[in-house]
Structure 1
Amino acid sequence: MAGTRWFVPKDVWPSSGKSKRELGPALESKGMLNASPPGNSRRELDTARRLGFVLLPQFSLLTLSAAWEGFRLANSQTGAATYVCQTVGVTGREVRSSNDIIVKTDKEVADDPSFDITFVISSLNSAEFRDQRLEVWLQAQAAKGKLLAPIGSAAVLLARIGLLNGYRCVTHWKHHEQFLERFPRVRLSRGLYCVDRERLTAAGGLSALDLGLSIISRGLGSTLAKQVADEALLARLRSDNEAQRMDTKIRYEVTEPRLIRALEMMEANLERPLSLTQIASASAVSERQLERLFAKYMKKRPLKVYSEIRLQYARELVKSTTESISRIAAACGFSDGSHLCRQYRAAFGEPPTLTRQKSSESGHSAASEDN
């Protein structure tokens, strides 16, 4: 059958001695026969088998595990080393993760390794990581037409050195607004993952597994991808354009539709805050009704909640970026840095500079203990 792909477990092939055609019924009964060829994806992605995982300092172990595990499970399902995965260090072969677990890598960037797909694994705290040797090596891989897959905030690194110009990509939702401002030549999407020609991106965390399942589906068929997802206890394959964040009603524990709409309007308008009149109008209620809804369900006034949302976002930017306080203030709708600092101290009991210092120290404390 033209286009048929066979996924054969160890207990069926090759020990049985039968041909693949003879094994068709047995495979079909095991759910291992997929008669549908993959879609119209690039040949490079269809045949990608050698995978490299570059670990930036303070990388997310969750993201690495999610990115890696789908391919390991695919190998287990097929009974063969279909995907060969290796880790790569940047400045050495021991890399400390964001939760202080040290991973000894297979290779270093200095070894000039070559892969079909190079994943770059970071964390929110390593968005501004810089290393000239790594950047030159990534640019060389791009020049060779290799597939590059920055995960999470690693998209910031590739965008900064021009490797995402003209491409669609995703990054973690906490970086969206700054990313749009800094990299106007990159076409930012807001979904879980994105595949655009030689660039593959995922928002971080578990979305790295979603991207991996997409790669498996394109290369070896959707049946295998579904089996991998099933073994990983995923109820379904998530599409690339699904939302990164929980539903508003879950995060705020509210079910009133008009209140949910108001909260969504607040979250979508941080840099240029809306007036109470505008929020009420968008929520199809009067200002007085809006006040009552917030008082009933959140025990706060709407503009108080709005201020808390903006301050919490500012706190995340202080901790995970190197942007100046004045730029963070502008991104979060405060008139200037002084205005933000006053509100910030009142909300969190410390100035933003101290928050940033603590975040930086916690990220490097383990390394300093070794010295």
Structure 2
Amino acid sequence: MSFSNLSRLSREQPLRMLLVLAGEADTLTWAGLVQPLRLAARSVGVRFELDIRSPQQVAEAPPGGWHVALLVADEQQAESPPAQLRLVAERLRSAPYWGGVGAGVLWLAEAGMMGGVRIALPWALYADTEGITERAILTPHLFEIDGPHLSCCGGSASADFALTLIDALYGANVQAEVKEALCIDRVRSHEERQRVALQARFGALQPKLSEAVTLMEANIEEPLSTDDIANLVGLSRRQLERLFKQYLGSLPSRYYLELRLQRARQLLLETNSSIVQVGLMCGFSSGSHFSTAFGTLFGNTPREERQRKLNG
């Protein structure tokens, strides 16, 4: 997954981005998305056109003409998808990059538009995923890009998503200008997880899954085996793997590894612990294994990540 592929769109003159407002304009999901993009449009001028429409307007418009298209609705509006959803989705799919934010992600998945695609869905909507056709792959991340598909869990993550799009399309200088205008110090990356207790995310729906992830989070320095975790929560290994695959789109071992690497990245950026110490604190006894696993997930080495902190 990489937002760098979006950069080629910046050669389009102008680049046209469609935001379909399917809910209310006074929500955090909408404000977090549209405010950074409006400031970016003001900064780059005629090179960037932000087109904001209602579902009705999009359904009546001819397909084509947009380079990025997003269906946006706050998670609280999940019960009422636009009546013209099929037509709206067809218009979205004519763009090179398209998808949803907040409840818009669920609506597109329910319409069968996200089959086999990794999607970032608001945790509060996880209980509503039984109706997803051609099943999408849920991830716990703030936002995702999978091929041409874009998704964001909404809420405060909308601002991180918008700023990441701005960086990919117009570079770090424009992003920095927008961040300064909005008094935002740090942009969270797409790999970061929705910071909500697992019990709140799944509620009574999957208590065993919540318990398993809680065990992982409590045992970063000395990781447990998948068999140990399964035994501790009272499931077979196969049952545990099935739960992780269905609700988190990953195997327990992979999810655990990413959890440890996320923690390592945080320590590299926020503490002065040595790279070796960070590796040990996150359960990596081998420096080479730590570096390889880190590079596979993030695309750079722990040393390069630390350098970002020093250069910042």
Normalised TM-score (structure 2): 0.57
1:120 matched to which residue of 2?
Answer: 71
Stretches of structure 1 lacking an aligned partner (at least 5 in a row): 1-37, 92-106, 249-263, 285-371
5+ residue gaps, structure 2, are: 220-312
Structure 1 contact 71–83 (Cα < 8 Å) conserved: no
Q: Which SS does the other structure have where 2:18 is aligned?
A: strand
1:154 aligns with 2:85: no
Q: 1:171 Cα shift?
A: 1.3
Does residue 134 of structure 1 match 2:100? Answer: no
Percent identity between the two aligned chains: 18
Where does residue 16 of structure 2 map in the other structure?
Answer: 50
For the structure 1 residues 68 and 131, does the alpha-carbon distance in structure 2 shift closer, same or farther, using more than 3 Å as the test?
A: closer
Q: Per-residue deviation at 1:204?
A: 0.9
Whole-angstrom distance in 2 between the partners of 1:225 and 1:218:
9
Structure 2 CA distance for partners of 1:127 and 1:45, relative to 1, 3 Å:
farther
Q: Residues 126-168 of structure 1: CA distance to partner in whole angstroms, max 9, x if unpaired? A: 32334453312422442x3532231111111101111111211
| Paired residues for 1:225-236 under 5 Å | 225-236=175-186
Which residue in the other structure is 2:187 paired with? 237
Q: CA deviation at 1:89?
A: 1.6
Question: Which residue of 32, 40, 49 maps to 1:66?
Answer: 32
Which residue of structure 2 lines up, in the alignment, with residue 90 of structure 1? 55
Shift of 1:239: 0.5
Return closer, same or farther for 1:267/1:129 CA change in 2, 3 Å cut-off: closer
Please, which moves more after superposition, 54-63 or 154-163?
Answer: 54-63
1: CA distance between counterparts of 2:141 and 2:180? Answer: 22
Structure 1 residues 116 and 177 mapped into 2: Cα distance closer, same or farther (>3 Å)?
same
Listed one character per residue, the Cα deviations across residues 207-259 of structure 1 (whole Å, up to 9, x for unaligned) are: 1221111111111112322332222111112101223235x6xxxxxxxxxxx
The 2-side partners of 1:54 and 1:195 are apart by 18
Cα offset, 1:278, TM superposition:
9.9
Give the letter aligned to residue 140 of structure 2.
Answer: R
Distance in 2 (CA, whole Å) between partners of 1:189 and 1:280 is: 17
One-letter amino acid of the structure 2 residue matched with residue 120 of structure 1 = L
Distance 2:162 2:214 in 1: 42
CA contact (8 A) 1:88 1:108 kept: yes
Which of 144, 147, 153 in structure 2 is aligned with 1:203?
153
Distance 1:71 1:268, change over 3 A: closer
The 5 Å alignment of 1:252-271 reads 270-271=204-205
User: Structure 2: which amino acid aligns with 1:111?
Assistant: A
Q: Do the aligned residues in 2 keep the contact of 1:58 with 1:125 (CA within 8 Å)?
A: no
Distance 1:59 1:75, change over 3 A: closer
Query: Who is 1:213 aligned against?
Result: 163
What displacement does 1:169 show?
1.0
Q: Report the AA paired with residue 165 of structure 1.
A: G
Measured in 2, the distance between the counterparts of 1:186 and 1:74 equals: 32
Q: Does 1:41 align with 2:41?
A: no
Answer 1 or 2: which has greater helix percent.
2
Q: How many residues align?
A: 212
Q: Deviations over 1:72-107 (max 9, x none)?
A: 2223434x233211221234xxxxxxxxxxxxxxx4
User: TM-score, normalised on structure 1?
Assistant: 0.49
1:188 to 138, 141, 146: 138
**Conserved 8 A contact 1:66-1:205:** yes
In structure 2, what residue type is equivalent to 1:170? A
How large is the RMSD of aligned CA atoms in angstroms? 3.5
Match of 1:334 in 2: none
For 1:63 and 1:279, how far apart are their aligned partners in 2?
A: 27
**SS of 2:100 mapped into structure 1:** strand
> For the pair shown, which has the larger CA radius of gyration, 1 or 2?
1
- Give 1:45 deviation, angstroms: 4.7
Letter in 2 for 1:51: M
Number of the residue aligned with 1:174: 124
Report the 3-state secondary structure (helix = DSSP H, G, I; strand = E; otherwise coil) of the residue aligned with 2:85.
Answer: helix
